Amino acid sequence: MIAAFCVAYPVLAHLASADPYPDLFAAAVAMAPLLAVAAVLAWRSPYRVAMLALCLAGCVAIYATSGWLVKHFNWVFLLQHAGMQALLAMAFGSTLRPGQVPMVSRFAAIVHGELSPALGRYTRQVTWAWTIYFVIMTALSLLLFWLAPIVVWSAFANLLNFPLLVLMFGGEYLARFWALEPADRTGPLEAIRAYRQSNSRGQPPAA
């Protein structure tokens, strides 16, 4: 179900964003992820009833301004894409400050325990690589939205976002075999377990 959504939503978002005659459905596609996140957070809140009522009031307010939203819904898509890339860049980059443990080093420590000097250097470099990646994605999203036709920006933000992310993961995975000894390498399954464990411990998430 999740995999189907991950494939279907970017295509649907691209079709909505590139539509030369947008309607309320296109605006609803743009707002759907934000409303879904708000509903989940409201449901998990200790003040569930009040927060769900606030979400409902927000939906009513959005519908009341649907005419404006239909004309500007691509800004919502931009906020979702560029905003998320920027937040991830800050999340990774903030862990590179003096006295902080780099993001990827945290995940590696969950798998390996104490890091070897080589693995410590490598995970810091990978954290830099992810930070730069997300900065570039943010900049490209903003520049294409500003300078290119909306269909070009939408293809980049909606259709290429996941393939580029997979390509980045794949490139980093191949780099491990060149830079690290076998004992310091981990596979995708170990990385997923580290991600889940870090979330359960309240550490900042990765991409």
pLDDT of 203 strictly over 60: no
Predicted local distance difference test score (pLDDT) of residue 160: 94
With cut-offs at 50, 70 and 90, classify the pLDDT of residue 194.
low
Predicted local distance difference test score (pLDDT) of residue 205: 43
Q: Looking at 53-57, 74-78, 103-107, 194-198, which range is the least confident one? A: 194-198
CA distances 95 to 100, 128, 185, Å, are: 5, 10, 22
Of the candidates 188, 25, 168, the residue with the CA atom closest to the CA atom of residue 85: 168
pLDDT of 35 strictly over 90: no
Predicted local distance difference test score (pLDDT) of residue 146: 94
Q: Looking at 8-12, 29-33, 132-136, 177-181, which range is the least confident one? A: 177-181
pTM score, whole prediction: 0.78
Crossing angle of the two packed helices 66-94 and 2-18, in degrees rounded to 10: 130
